[in-house]
Structure 1
Amino acid sequence: MRLRALLETDALGLRLLGGDDELDRTVRGVMTTDLRDPSRYLSGGELVLTGLAWRRSADDSEPFVRILASAGVVGLAAGEAELGDIPDDLVVACERHRLPLFAVNEDVAFATITEHVVRQVSGERAGDLAAVVDRHRRLMTSGPAGGGPEVVLDLLGSDLDLRAWVLSPTGRRIAGAGEPLPPGAGAVLAAEHLAATRTGRRGPHRATVRGTTYSLFPIRNTGRSAAPASRDVRETVLSDWLLAVEADASDWPAARLDLLQGVTQLIAVERDRRDAARTVRRRLAQEVLELVQTGAPPAEIAARLRVAAPVLLPGLGTAPHWQVVVARVDWDARGGSPVEAGPAAQSLLEEILVDPADPGSETADRIAVAHTGTEAVALVPLPAAGPAGASPDDAGHDGAGHGEAGLGEEGRAGEPEPGQDGAGLHADALLAAVRETLSAGLADDGRLTLGVSAAVHSAEGLRGALEEARHARRVAAARPGRVCAAGHHELASHVLLLPFVPDDVRRAFTARLLDPLRDYDRRHRAELIETLEAFLDCDGSWTRCATRLHLHVNTLRYRVGRIEQLTGRDLSRLEDKLDFFLALRMS
């Protein structure tokens, strides 16, 4: 903007005192100061605002103005609140150095002028930067990526002082310039974005995390798999990226909003590029899945796996072990056409299997997810061997690896090497970090269920692993909650049976055993239910149970006797202990 535009804005209360032939100077910034020598804080192009506190005598004006002129300041605006009329010595000094001088009415705050200049200047910078963004987008569309979205995020920081990050639907950082987001902030922002998107509100959405305000811009999937605008928002809500900007965009001018929309379009190009890179891995997974489901001979499946292994585990010369993960997204029925959940589940499962701490693509390059009409199936490679005695806790959650412990040599699900039970992917660990975030996107009408098989290393074991993962997912589906998972180890437990007991049978069974105890507790506050739970947890040990409940053994014996009297059961019998155990689990 030019100085002349400031003078023509009545709301700023500026009055020109000298330098009318210099009003076409370009203003590139604004600074308020009362230092006698502010040169260290000047870079040129500023309009300087001053309250004249630096002036003690008429001799101070000349050196002050000389410093401003030497620094390349384009104009000086002096407030009238302190001294009333602007001193003549300051007017003369400004005329000598050809520095335009304005008087600021005492009713106008410097903050008002500063805000106006910053808004106008940043708007012009936004226009310049928008051209850069557009050129970068064309380069990314027509040829090799010119540095990816990080280049434009860097420009946002350097030119507009905007810190920004690209986040996945789970809050994982995909790209960003400068410092990372505070721990946990990405997941909170993603949850806010998913919840706002489900309401149908247009972006950007505003969110505050730990006192910091962010504006969230959706990054729409523009590739071949993108859903038409008329389709149900639930088809893409769990797969779209977002741009989080550390600022409140509610009062931004149109030029800056248009710029950020251009940035999201550029990042969408990068999203399309990454999706295209996954095509080979998805196709390999689809081919293996079709062979397994159609009962193809193990030799044919093994041949396909030998083709897939170098693609999914580049640089590893040994055949990996494999695990199968099955995920399904279900939506409550609405009017209109049903939601096609298979692609959404595929995209979401690919995201879940990526290490949330790794913004790069290395672990993503080892994930192959196919989908049928309703479910997604991931073929996850694990290194063939790991350090002796390693455990999932040692390896941590590291994307496609998710623990590099050695696995069983027979190729059968659920058969790891001795001392390494439970190696590989774990159902609960996969969803622990994303459960709350995804629940916001699923809202009150969607569910995500996930099942994980044990590891296998042969074609003979892969079909069993697929069935195992599907059974585990059905166990997860029978549980309450929007986001649920189950692992292969739960298929050899009572946990497998309890979810499938009909509700009326469940209620009748628990009522017959536990209602007499609950009624007695309500009347006498005897804590019989708590005593029963502790007694069973302690395997019927009187001493350990009494210690846990801080009771004398005789008091414990009295309570157990009362339980047996009220229910007609005998807690020394295994059958009765088992009935009480199941009733407590189903209640």
Structure 2
Amino acid sequence: MRLRALLDTDALGLRLLGGEGELDRTVRGVMTTDLKDPSRYLSGGELVLTGLAWRHDAGDSEPFVRILAGAGVTALAAGEAELGDIPDDLVVACARHRLPLFAVNESVAFATITEHVVRQVSGERAGDLAAVVERHRRMMTSGPAGGGPDVVLDLLGTDLDLRAWVLSPAGRPVAGSKLSGGALPADIRAELAAAHLAAVRTGRRGPHRVTVGPATYSLFPVRSPGRAAGGSRDVRESVLSDWLLAVEADAGDWPEERLDLLQGVTQLIAVERDRRDAARTVRRRLAQEVLELVQAGAAPAEIAARLRVAAPVLLPGLGAAPHWQVVVARVEWDGGEIEGGPAAQALLEEILVDPLATGPEHSDRIAVAHTGAEAVALVPLPAVSSDEDGPEPGLHADTLLASVREPLSAGLNDDGRLTIGVSAAVHSAEGLRGALEEARHARRVAAARPGRVCAAGHQELASHVLLLPFVPDDVRRAFTARLLDPLREYDGRHRAELIPTLEAFLDCDGSWTRCAARLHLHVNTLRYRVGRIEQLTGRDLSRLEDKLDFFLALRMS
């Protein structure tokens, strides 16, 4: 509403004392105060009501009005009940700062004016929607890092009673209001993300409404400022990388002002998204440098030197040199005219996040590079203590996509595919080239399967695959090292002679008595050694396939 409409309402008892040329100003809210400095409670656009209790002498008017004008207040209305006539020094100060000034007749209660303004500005509540957007803007831009999306969602909760969350396209929680009752359950996040991506692929304009269980959610796309809604670029270029704002409410009957508010909030969150992308620049560059060295066949010493630079950035405070895993991903669209590398890079940065990670930046240990349609992630793993036996921890292809397959399939629709390959962990720079080729080959195994979202790991590169002529030598060497290195390391620490035992056991066709006799061991001692071999490698020497794998690995070593 405009100031002119207030002046024309006789029941409000307002009399204009100054600012005749400013009556087209918009009133977005109302506030009553007698504080000398009410700036912390102002967000701009208010009609300020005051009883003048803050004024003790003529010198108080100038600083009070200067504060109101600086906060973007629309007008000041002063009550006549306290002092009778409005002091001239207040009239002069308002004229100096071009702040319209009204006198309020002593017979009119401030509550009457407040109720009228609230009813005119918003028919549903006393919240000032445009002022909330402005408060969001100030919070997000205050300080070097801004307030962050959590602050924005807190304001939505306190000002509009809206429970809201920011989700990644894979359904990962990015931010949530303290008033939102905690994080959404994983199954609900996945369903919301899938519904959002499916709606985006249809080209329908948001917000998109979806009912999950008893609740209805409105889903607002969070698009990068460079990719405004309705742009000419193909939606497939950004559908798998843009965040979404999920609000637990049905926006179908919202007034235009509230929809505009939420669209403004998504723009602020998009700025935060771009800030986080910028913060990933160093990690992306490190991954790109290592990848280029590995692909160029650089000396292991040169790669190791670059890894020593990368380790403190990717694993701050770890101390011990980490092991590494390589993950390769490709996003491919029908027709092949859209480059899938950037989308694959953004997806890997979301998919590889540790769900138990804490801190403001959940992906601060994920380094992903991309070339063409392929994205390559260099994932550091804490080094296993030399006193620990058994398989090393790391990523597993069979669980990597479990929680994100549903939403990503919806985003890929009928014309896109995501395939991922995961290498084994390597202990040094020498193994990175083999790990990269191993991950690429595992991805090709995944690409041969049906489905929109597929992954394969190094465990699926079985011995019969290694006999195929197109398998790179680096993959063969990586397979051999993965199978035999745990045994060699154990022999080096404990002098257990597991490798000679394995060779004799295979030469004797798995015969316990013949092998024990050849090695001059008791059968129980042989059984203990074979059990240790199986424990360290995760294989079963009673299975023909595992025996064949060991046989080929020993022949190629």
Kindly indicate whether residue 293 of structure 2 is the aligned counterpart of residue 294 of structure 1: no
114, 124, 128: which one pairs with 1:125? 128
**Structure 2 CA distance for partners of 1:27 and 1:272, relative to 1, 3 Å:** closer
Letter of the aligned partner of 2:372 in structure 1? G
Structure 1 counterpart SS, 2:424: coil
Q: Secondary structure at the match of 2:128?
A: helix
Aligned to 2:162: 162
Alignment-derived partner of residue 232 in structure 2: 230
Deviations 1:221-272 (A, max 9, x none): 236x999932211111000001111111112111111111111111111111
Instruction: Mark the CA change 1:249 to 1:298 in structure 2 (over 3 Å): closer, same or farther.
Output: same
Pairing 1:239–2:241 present: yes
Q: Normalising by structure 1, what TM-score?
A: 0.58
* SS of structure 2 residue aligned to 1:120: coil
* Residue 432 (structure 1) shift: 0.7
Are the aligned partners of 1:173 and 1:359 in contact in 2 as well (CA < 8 Å)?
Answer: no
Query: Hey, what's the Cα distance between the residues in 1 that align with 2:446 and 2:266?
Result: 36
Asked whether 1:268 is paired with 2:270, we answer yes
1:365 is matched with which residue?
364
Question: Is 2:138 the partner of 1:135?
Answer: yes
The 1-side partners of 2:121 and 2:163 are apart by 17
Structure 2: segments with no counterpart, 5+ residues: 15-27, 31-106, 113-117, 471-543, 546-557
Match of 1:331 in 2: 333
Q: In structure 2, what is the equivalent of residue 431 of structure 1?
A: 401
Deviation digits for residues 80-108 of structure 1 (CA, Å, limit 9, x no counterpart): xxxxxxxxxxxxxxxx999999xxxxxxx
Distance 1:363 1:98, change over 3 A: closer
Question: 1:440, 1:130 → 2: CA distance?
Answer: 32
Structure 1 residue 487 and structure 2 residue 457: aligned?
Answer: yes
Letter paired with 1:345: A
* Paired position in structure 1 for 2:412: 442
Which of 380, 390, 394 is equivalent to 1:419? 390
- C-alpha distance after superposition, 1:255-290 (max 9, x if no partner): 111111111111111111111110000000000000
Q: 1:455: how far off?
A: 0.5
Which residue number in structure 1 is paired with residue 352 of structure 2? 353
1:227–1:236 CA contact under 8 A, matched in 2: no
Q: How do residues 168-183 of structure 1 correspond to structure 2 at under 5 angstroms? A: 168-178=168-178, 179-183=181-185
* Structure 2 equivalent of residue 306 of structure 1: 308
Q: Is the 8 A contact 1:219 1:265 kept in 2?
A: yes
Classify the secondary structure of the residue corresponding to 1:149.
helix
2:283 touches 2:313 (CA, 8 Å); kept in 1?
yes
- Structure 2 counterpart of 1:492, one-letter code: A
What is the one-letter code of the residue matched to 2:332? D
Letter aligned with residue 456 of structure 2: A
Does structure 1 residue 380 correspond to structure 2 residue 379? Answer: yes
Distance 1:342 1:226 in 2: 21
Question: CA-to-partner distance for each residue in 1:285-327, whole Å, 9 max, x for gaps?
Answer: 0000000001011111111111111111111111100000000
The offset of 1:173, in angstroms, is 1.1
Distance across 1 between alignment mates of 2:333 and 2:251: 33
Distance, in Å, in 2 between the alignment partners of 1:330 and 1:364 is: 24
Aligned-pair distance for 1:457? 1.5
Distance 1:440 1:237 in 2: 10
In structure 1, what is the Cα distance between the partners aligned to 2:246 and 2:131?
Answer: 22
1:419 maps to amino acid: G
What's the CA shift for 1:171?
Answer: 1.1
2-structure distance, mates of 1:213, 1:351 = 26
SS, match of residue 175 in structure 2: strand
Instruction: Name the structure 2 match of 1:540.
Output: none
* Aligned pair partner of 2:218 in 208, 215, 220: 215
Partner residue, 1:253: 255
Task: Give the C-alpha shift of residue 360 in structure 1.
Answer: 4.0
SS of alignment partner, residue 455 of structure 1: coil
Q: CA deviation at 1:130?
A: 2.1
Query: Is residue 2:285 matched to residue 1:283?
Result: yes
Residue aligned with 2:308, SS: helix
Looking at structure 2, the residues matched to 468 and 213 of structure 1 have their Cα atoms a distance apart, in angstroms, of 45
1:156 partner SS: helix
Residue type of the partner of 2:453?
V
State how many pairs are aligned. Answer: 373
Find the aligned partners of 2:230 and 2:349 in 1 and give their Cα distance: 22
Give the Cα–Cα distance (whole angstroms) in 1 for the partners of residues 441 and 369 of structure 2.
Answer: 18
Q: How far 1:374 sits from its partner (Å)?
A: 1.1
Task: Report if aligned partners of 2:127, 2:160 keep a CA contact under 8 Å in 1.
Answer: no
**What residue is the counterpart of 1:190 in the other structure?**
193
SS at match of 1:449: strand
Measured in 2, the distance between the counterparts of 1:294 and 1:190 equals: 39
Offset of residue 22 of structure 1? 6.0
CA distance in 2, matches of 1:227, 1:472: 37
Q: Secondary structure at the match of 2:182?
A: coil
Q: CA separation in 2, counterparts of 1:497 and 1:177?
A: 55
The SS at the match of 1:144 is coil
Contact 1:22 1:100 in 2 (8 A): no
From 435, 451, 456, the equivalent of 1:465 is 435
Q: State the secondary structure of the residue aligned to 2:338.
A: coil
The separation in 2 between residues aligned to 1:369 and 1:189, in whole angstroms, is: 26
3-state secondary structure, aligned to 1:229: coil
Contact 2:367–2:379, Cα closer than 8 Å, also in 1: yes
Letter aligned with residue 449 of structure 1: T
Aligned residue type for 2:123: Q
Q: Deviations over 1:15-34 (max 9, x none)?
A: xxxxx94698x999xxxxxx
Displacement after TM superposition at 1:124 (Å): 5.8
1:450 shift after superposition? 0.4
Q: State whether residues 203 and 217 of structure 1, in contact with CA within 8 Å, keep that contact through their aligned partners in structure 2.
A: yes
Which amino acid counterpart does residue 214 of structure 1 have in structure 2? Y
Q: Helix, strand or coil: the match of 1:364?
A: coil
User: Secondary structure in 2 aligned to 1:365?
Assistant: coil
Contact map agreement 2:29 2:128 (CA 8 A) in 1: no
Change (3 A) 1:270 1:362: closer
Residue of structure 2 in register with 1:150 after alignment: 150
CA contact (8 A) 1:134 1:262 kept: no
Q: Structure 1 residues 161, 199: CA separation in 2 closer, same or farther (over 3 Å shift)?
A: same
The whole-number CA distance in structure 2 between the counterparts of 1:448 and 1:497 is 27
Aligned-residue offset at 1:128: 1.9
SS at match of 1:354: coil
Provide closer, same or farther for how the CA distance between residues 117 and 285 of structure 1 changes in structure 2, counting only shifts above 3 A.
same
CA contact (8 A) 1:449 1:473 kept: yes
* Paired position in structure 1 for 2:342: 343
**Aligned-pair distance for 1:387?**
9.4
**SS at the partner of 2:335?**
coil
